[in-house]
Amino acid sequence: MKDTLLNVKDLQTAFFTDSGVVRAVNGVSFNLEKGKVLGIVGESGSGKSVTAYSILRILVDPGKVVGGEVFFKGEDVLKYSKREIRSLRGEKISIIFQDPMTSLNPVYTVGNQLMETIMLHTDRNRSEARQRAIEMLTLVGVNDPEKRVKQYPHELSGGMRQRVMIAMALACEPDILIADEPTTALDVTIQAQILELMQELQKKLGMAIIIITHDLGVIADMCDEIIVMYAGRICERGTSDEIFYNPKHEYTKGLLRSIPKLGMGHIRLKPIGGSPVDLLNMPKGCAFASRCDRAMKICLTNQPDEIAIGPEHMAACWMNVKAVYDEAADSGNKQGGDDK
């Protein structure tokens, strides 16, 4: 625990809209250690982006963090003054967004936007910042960087723009890079290139990464730990291997069934049926119950707690409790009792 960079505790975020309180994040907790890669997985609307925005406090208007703590190197970021939070953003924690097409300002050159971050957080003057910008563009594999700095975002392709975003995020050597679906908007070959680049840079620069995605398959081999989110809650967490080969939450299992695996041949993919839970009216029990094939009575009335499956594996699903009971019942059966 000594190298913990980020410690999120029971984070709760809600949007106070006209039609009611949308509970987007409902008690998310996790730790991120130095140099580690954490994956956050979940379908659209599960609260992944809102979690990330809450950490950096870049939520927009009706959104508010209503509970919990976010410790960065032991300091509660949620208690930071405006000035303190600004020196965290872009300098210690950077973020890149889902849509590179719209995430750069169309009326300023790429160089201008890169240099802006660099000059804001470091002592470099204009020409040094420009030098640094070119250096960063080279690092992220943008060809002809000297020409690129003078270009406007619309003159670059989507993949190039995402590289620019990465360059911008890493220009001040942050401790943590949050990548919010960095490849969703890009086509498959570019996706692979960008992920490869991120892995490579992670090795080179040693920052910790939080990578957010709705596609478990995409990030499997780069994460040290994976968190599976549903309806603003964490349903399962564990190492990549545990999540992939030993999933213990029905939602995780559903997610795994819905992704194509290499070498799987032509097995039919099964998307999870039903529609996401209504965040305005969260159910009392397990949020996934209405879509779960194995839902039991208790799932409808009681929210499952996170239960340790192994040393680095937790799941919040009643099935695991049932498994323990069944085991106990089995051994009881041998003694002649019939337990229901």
Partner 1 sequence: MWKYILKRFGLAIVTVFIIITITFFTMNAIPGGPFEKEKAPDPAVKALLEARFHLDKPVPVQFWYYLTDMFRGDFGISLKTGRNIMQTINESFAISAKLGGIAALAALAAGLVLGSIAAIMRNGVFDRVIIFFTTLFVSVPSFVLATLLLLVFCLKLAWFPVWSAESHSYFLPILALALYPMSYITRLTKSSMLDVLGQDYIRTARSKGLAETKVIFKHALRNALIPVITYMGPLVAYILTGSLVVETVFTIGGLGSKFVTGITNRDYPMVMATTIFLSVLMVVATLISDLIYKLVDPKISFD
**Which of 157, 148, 225 minimizes the C-alpha distance to 194?**
157
* Span interacting with ligand SF4, options 178-186, 208-216, 256-264, 285-293, rule CB under 6 A: 285-293
What is the DSSP secondary structure assignment for residue 224, as one 8-state letter? Answer: S
**Which of 289, 170, 232 minimizes the C-alpha distance to 40?**
232
Candidates 177, 292, 307, 309; binder of ligand SF4 (CB under 6 A) is 292
| Site track 297-326 with ligand SF4 (rule: CB under 6 A), x = hit | --x----x------------xxx-------
Residues in a beta bridge with 15: 22, 63
**Which of 202, 248, 250 minimizes the C-alpha distance to 230?**
250
**Assign residue 232 a region: left if phi > 0, alpha if psi is -120 to 50, beta otherwise?**
left
- If one asks whether residue 287 binds ligand ATP (CB under 6 A), the answer comes out as no
- If one asks whether residue 15 binds ligand ATP (CB under 6 A), the answer comes out as yes
**Cα 310 to Cα 238: distance, rounded to the nearest angstrom:** 9
Q: Which does 49 bind (CB under 5 to 8 A by kind): Mg ion, ligand SF4, partner 1, none?
A: Mg ion
Q: Which does 289 bind (CB under 5 to 8 A by kind): partner 1, ligand SF4, ligand ATP, none?
A: ligand SF4
**Cα 135 to Cα 15: distance, rounded to the nearest angstrom:** 40
- 48 or 237: CB nearest partner 1: 48
Strand 4-17 relative to strand 63-72: parallel, antiparallel, unpaired?
antiparallel
Q: Which does 95 bind (CB under 5 to 8 A by kind): ligand ATP, Mg ion, partner 1, none?
A: partner 1
- If one asks whether residue 165 binds partner 1 (CB under 8 A), the answer comes out as yes
Candidates 7, 46, 49, 240; binder of Mg ion (CB under 5 A) is 49
Provide the 3-class DSSP secondary structure of residue 276: coil
285 and 303 Cβ atoms separated by less than 8 Å = yes
- 2 or 83: CB nearest partner 1: 83
76-115 residues near partner 1, rule: CB under 8 A: 82, 86-91, 94-95, 97, 99, 102-109
Residues 6+ apart with CB under 8 A from 24: 13, 14, 15, 47, 50, 63, 232, 279
Footprint of ligand SF4 on this chain (CB under 6 A)?
Answer: 249-251, 286, 288-289, 292, 294-296, 299, 304, 317-319
Footprint of partner 1 on this chain (CB under 8 A)?
Answer: 56, 58, 60, 82, 86-91, 94-95, 97, 99, 102-109, 116-117, 120-121, 152, 154, 165, 168
